[in-house]
Amino acid sequence: MKRQITESAGVPGAQINIGKPARSVSEMIGKFRELGLLGFILLLSVGVQLRNPSFLTWENISDIATNTAILSILAVGMMLVIITRGIDLSIGATLAVSGMISALLVSHYPGIHPLLAIASGIGIGLICGMVIGCLVAWVNILPIIATLGMMNVYRGLTFEASGGKWVSAHQMPTGFKAIATGTLFGVNNLILIAVAIYIVAYYFISHTRSGRRIYAVGSNPDSATISGIRSGRVLWLVYTIMGGLSGLAGVLWVSKFASAQGDTASGYELSVIAACVLGGVSIAGGVGKISGIVLGSVLLGILNNALPMIDVSPFWQMFIQGTIILIAVLINALVKRGIDRNHLMRRKI
Amino acid sequence: MEPRVLANKKEFTFKSFFLQWEWLLVVLILAVSVMNASLSEYFLEYDNLRDATMGFLDKAFIVLPMVFIILMGDIDISVASIVTLSSVIMADLFNHGLPMGWAMVAGLAVGTICGWINGMLVVRFKELSSVIVTLATMIIYRGIAYILLKDQASGKFPDWFQYLGWEYIGGIPFILIAFAVCAIGFGWLLHKTVFGRRVYAIGNNATASRYSGVQVDKIKVLVFTLAGLMSAVTAMFLTSRMGSTRPNIASGYELEVIAMVVLGGISTAGGKGRMIGAILAVFLIGFLRYGLGLVNVSAQMLLIILGLLLILSVAIPQLKQRFASMRRI
């Protein structure tokens, strides 16, 4: 009803604006969204720097980058999931179970090569992701229900695998701990791995057929199916990738904090979803860019690092994070509304 | 021409009557009870059964409005945070000198307002799914609880408040009576009123219902508000049973509540299911948890079982439908 009214109201507007595309504030925001986010990050940094001069030191910046690396790796996978109109709440548990099993592996066989430990983590993550992918793609369970259920299963498995005990630093060989603390050309491994994943993911979603299909399925599942895309397969692929990335993140997490616990990363999925939403990934599907989610992750990382530095009580953090997610989601929705309205006005009917 | 009559009820046959999801739940409950009774000779004693139900009924209050929400094809994952927030605010106000009665009223009001905010956000921003809206408010509500109470516990409630969760009236636990009253009320609302029929209509097709004059937005806001109110009721009973409150209580309740509703045969695609199924599911999961506790199954194993139950209860109807349509082809 509402749409019809706007459409008919848009007719005179369309006639006036022939040859001159209408531009609105929301469209500008939509176009320069990443720039705006970058501006906000810079403003925030300058503000914090004025309060606490030790913020913009090289040491602290590299600290933020290392802390953000794992978050942004997960955000890449979550972006793919959200683009297909899904959501994955199980990644914290997948991360924990693969981190735990690879930690148990290296504590039993200390001679194992670190790369093999990483591979085992990724393998377990892939299996976890495949299970969820099957449930979502072929059994047709809503993503939120499927991932909520499997989240419990994986979390339970983490506890069962370790018998409720921790794997702590002295049980891990130095080679394993060096995965996250080591450097290559003076840059921390975590940052290098994250950057490599951005590049691969960028190539995948912008320049390969499977990558474009993910967007197609997300922006309109029906027409994707009609044009011959097997959307079930795309959905399965997306959740499998998410699982693999969670597995990788699990190994990196355990190696970085040098301890694997039953409740590792519980609730972390919320931060990852927040990073995606901040980075402009639309919950309605079909929209999302790598540059956006990297900036979103960096913003969250800076917030987590800066709030304690300017004496904000840690008990405020949860509230601030939630409010930022809500505001970002609402702004996304309003911007999209503005763009849609503009598109309607420009249609020549 | 004869007027076409829409078949309201399917023809009653014994086969269709006993092949319902609800009967499957009854059979499962009986199976779990037999298992429990064989594990512990005390299980079937009246006192024991009575006290077992007291242990798991607190979250059952949220199941009732969650049935409505899931029937409409929405979801609310912020309920556990509302429980925490209203409990924390109640305790905080009481410790600042407000009489306990008024503090409880304030707690109920806070829950109601939280639910109303959820409803308004879901209705005003239709392009956002209720998943993401309640995900954000879930973090915010628990965040406020942390701001208020930091990592402290708060308690020292008057004695009569303890009775709420622990007292019996005529040999029956008060919480069971309260739940029965609420369950009958919500069941009546869903199955016997125009409001309930409209909820089903929205779940089947929200657009069609709007065109036929159902005030979809109003009903949605009301249902989310009810969910907030019942979360606050849960907060009262939970706080009374524990005797104190913390900002991390009730974590994971949302999952259990959703699992109970889905296990009760209410379809996540909206528009299908009955209140009695959800209530049976509450008792099924409650007895299962109690029985597994008897044989010392760890809480983690219970997590796995709960997750698998959730998946299976959604997967079985889906697969059944899939096979039925394959056979038709």
The answer as to whether A43 is a domain residue is: no
Is the model's pLDDT at A347 over the cut of 80?
A: no
pLDDT of amino acid A17 = 45
Residue B316 has a CB neighbour count (10 Å cut-off) of 13
- Residue B110 belongs to a domain: yes
Task: Quote the strand ranges of B119-222, DSSP E.
Answer: 154-155, 168-169, 172-173
Which pLDDT score, from 0 to 100, does residue B161 have?
85
Q: Which of A94, A151, A319 to mutate to test the interface with B (most CBs of B within 10 A)?
A: A319
Interface test with A, best of B77, B121, B300 (most A CBs within 10 A): B300
The residues that bridge with B169 in the sheet, in sequence order, are B172
Residue A155's domain comprises: 69-282
Query: Side chain identity at A114, as an amino acid letter?
Result: P
Looking at the domain assignment, is residue B215 inside a domain?
Answer: yes
- Asked if residue B8 belongs to a domain, the reply is no
pLDDT computed for residue A10 by the predictor: 40
CA dist list (Å): A82 to A42, A79, B219: 27, 5, 28
Give a yes or no: residue A45 inside a domain.
no
What pLDDT score does A25 carry? 65
Band the pLDDT of A11: cuts 50, 70, 90: very low
Nearest CA to B159 out of B169, B170, B167 is that of B167
Distance from CA of B180 to the nearest CA of A (A): 28
> Does some domain include residue A211?
yes
Q: What share of chain B is helix, strand, coil (3-state, %, to 5)?
A: 75, 0, 25
Write the CATH number for B88. 1.10.3470
User: Read out DSSP for A171-196?
Assistant: GS-HHHHHHHH-EETTEEHHHHHHHH
Looking at the domain assignment, is residue A318 inside a domain?
no
Task: Report the run of H or E that residue B65 belongs to, with start and end.
Answer: helix B60-71
What is the pLDDT, as a whole number, of residue A23? 56
Tell me, yes or no, whether A293 lies in a domain: no
Has residue A209 been placed in a domain?
A: yes
* A147 in a structural domain: yes
> CB burial class (10 A; 0-12, 13-18, 19+) of residue A299?
buried
Work out the average pLDDT over A227-236.
91
| Interface residue of B128, B137, B261, B326 to substitute, partner A, most A CBs within 10 Å | B128
Q: Residue A13 pLDDT > 60, yes or no?
A: no
| Residue B286 lies in domain | 43-316
Q: On the CB side of A67, how many CA atoms lie within 13 Å of its CA? A: 17
Q: Does B82 touch chain A (CB under 8 A)?
A: no
Contact of B228 with B115, CB cutoff 8 Å: yes
| B39 vs A195: which has the higher pLDDT | A195
Structural domain contains residue B325:
no
Residue of A nearest to B210 (CA): A1
- What does DSSP say about strands B154-155 and A187-188: parallel, antiparallel, or unpaired? unpaired
Contact flag B311-A150 (C-beta cutoff 8 Å): yes
CA-CA distance, B107 to B87, in Å (whole number)? 6
Residue A6's pLDDT is: 41
Look at A157-161, A226-230, B38-42, B184-188 and tell me which has the smallest mean pLDDT.
B38-42
Q: Check CB contact of B269 with chain A, cutoff 8 Å.
A: yes
Q: Does B180 touch chain A (CB under 8 A)?
A: no
Longest Cα–Cα distance of chain A, Å, equals 75
Q: What ipTM score was computed for the predicted complex, to two decimals?
A: 0.83
CA distance B206 to B198: 10
Classify residue B16: in a domain, yes or no. no
Which tokens in the block code for residue B49? 């059964």
Three-state DSSP at A257 gives helix
Predicted local confidence at residue A19, as pLDDT: 44
Query: How many structural domains compose chain B?
Result: 1
pLDDT at B171: 80
Q: CA angle at residue A198 from A192 to A199, to 5 degrees?
A: 90
Q: Compute the distance between CA of residue B275 and CA of residue B186 in angstroms, rounded to an integer.
A: 8
Within-domain flag for B11 = no
Q: Which residues contact B2 (CB under 8 A, 6 or more apart)?
A: none
Our count of domains for chain A comes to: 1
- Whole-number pLDDT of residue B12: 60
pTM over 0.95: no
Residue A314 in any domain: the answer is no
Q: Is the distance from CB of A106 to CB of A173 less than 8 angstroms?
A: yes
Please name every residue paired with A260 in a beta bridge, in sequence order, or none if there are none: A167
* Residue B298, in any domain of the structure: yes
Mean pLDDT, contiguous 10-residue spans, chain B (329 residues) = 49 64 86 84 79 85 95 92 95 90 94 96 88 90 92 83 81 89 95 93 91 93 96 93 87 86 85 90 88 78 85 83 76
| Look-up of token digits 């912008």 | A206
**Residue matched to tokens 């999961």:** B285
Structure tokens at B261: 């509703």
Structure token digits, residue B20: 């319902």
Q: What is the DSSP string of B23-64?
A: HHHHHHHHHHHHHHHHH-TTTTSHHHHHHHHHHH-TTHHHHH
Half-sphere exposure at residue A118, Cβ-oriented, CA atoms within 13 angstroms:
17
Which residues of chain A have a CB within 8 Å of the CB of B140? 319, 322-323, 326
Of A115-129, A324-338, B101-115, B125-139, the one with minimum mean pLDDT is A324-338
User: Closest approach of chain B CAs to the CA of A113, in angstroms?
Assistant: 31
Closest CA to A319 of A327, A330, A331: A327
Give B312 to chain A, closest Cα distance, Å. 9
Task: Give chain A's contact residues with B (Cβ, < 8 Å).
Answer: 87, 135, 139-142, 144-146, 148-153, 155-157, 159-160, 164, 262, 270, 273, 277, 283-284, 313, 315-323, 325-326, 329-330, 333, 336-337
Bridge partners (DSSP) of residue B245 are B154
**Tens digits of residue pLDDT in A237-287:** 999 999 999 999 999 999 988 888 888 887 788 889 889 988 888 888 888
Q: What is the pLDDT of residue A27?
A: 62
- Residue A284: CB atoms within 10 A of its CB come to 18
The closest of A182, A180, A186 to A58, measured between CA atoms, is: A186
The pLDDT value given to residue A4: 43
A348 has pLDDT over 60: yes
- DSSP helix/strand/coil, B4: coil
State residue B89's pLDDT score. Answer: 94
Report the phi/psi class of residue A265: left, alpha or beta, with left for phi > 0 and alpha for psi in -120 to 50: left
| Per-residue confidence (pLDDT) for residue B16, from 0 to 100 | 64
